[in-house]
């Protein structure tokens, strides 16, 4: 079939172009994050992305609580949800360590894939999703991203602290339960 410009439409439709919805959306997020980082700086860009991450975290938390038919997730469920939600979006998070005061997670694959490289502000999605889910169910969270694929590490190391401290690491963010 010939199109309006005389081109064979089937040749275009079957061209080996690496483009589909998932790649398009991850590219879009990468470019938005990059634009924010270059216009307002990484710290401010992280702040904007954290707002989005918090809202997404609330939605995910509500979905899991509804599916499990509970008002609040217990500690074990929170831990399982943090790993499972990332699995569902093609991350590869796993528990490294669990103690009374913290949960340490590792990650071998970012849900953003190669699109996260050089975009550390996108890590605020993980921080805010993990922080909002943990705080909403357990009362408090402080998320510290020690290593990140976005920063050039081979994997991620994320610590979810469950008890407040008097001093907070500069790269950590605190989250508190919000009563609705």
Answer whether residue 133 shows pLDDT above 80: yes
Domains and CATH numbers, the chain: 18-176 (3.30.1380.20)
What's the rounded mean pLDDT across residues 62-66?
97
Give the largest CA-CA distance in the chain.
70
Q: Identify the pLDDT of residue 3.
A: 57
Answer whether residue 4 shows pLDDT above 80: no
Answer whether residue 2 shows pLDDT above 80: no
Average pLDDT, the chain: 91
Give the CA distances from residue 129 to residues 2, 16, 49, 59, 152, in Å, rounded to whole numbers and listed in that order.
48, 35, 11, 9, 22
pLDDT in tens, 96-127: 999 999 999 999 999 999 999 999 999 999 99
CB 160 within 8 A of CB 82: yes
Please give the model's pTM, rounded to 2 decimal places.
Answer: 0.86
> What one-character-per-residue DSSP string does 37-101 give?
HHHH-HHHHHHHHHHHHHHHHHHHHHHHHHHHT-SS--HHHHHHHHHHHHHHTT--EEEEEEETT
CB 30 within 8 A of CB 119: yes
Q: Identify the pLDDT of residue 170.
A: 73
What's the rounded mean pLDDT across residues 56-73?
97
Answer whether residue 11 shows pLDDT above 90: no
């Amino acid at each position: 079939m010939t199109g309006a410009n005389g081109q064979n439409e089937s040749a275009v439709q079957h061209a080996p172009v690496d483009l589909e919805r998932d790649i398009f959306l991850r590219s879009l997020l990468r470019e938005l994050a990059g634009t924010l980082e270059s216009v307002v700086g990484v710290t401010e860009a992280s702040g904007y992305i954290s707002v989005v991450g918090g809202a997404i975290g609330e939605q995910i938390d509500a979905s899991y609580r509804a599916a499990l038919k509970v008002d609040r997730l217990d500690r074990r469920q929170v831990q399982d949800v943090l790993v499972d939600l990332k699995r569902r979006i093609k991350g590869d998070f796993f528990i490294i360590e669990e103690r009374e005061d913290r949960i340490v997670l590792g990650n071998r694959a970012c849900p953003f894939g190669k699109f996260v490289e050089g975009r550390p502000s996108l890590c605020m999605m993980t921080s805010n999703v993990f922080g909002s889910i943990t705080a909403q169910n357990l009362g408090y969270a402080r998320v510290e991203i020690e290593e990140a694929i976005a920063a050039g590490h081979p994997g991620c190391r994320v610590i979810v602290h469950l008890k407040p401290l008097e001093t907070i690491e500069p790269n950590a963010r605190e989250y508190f339960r919000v009563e609705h």
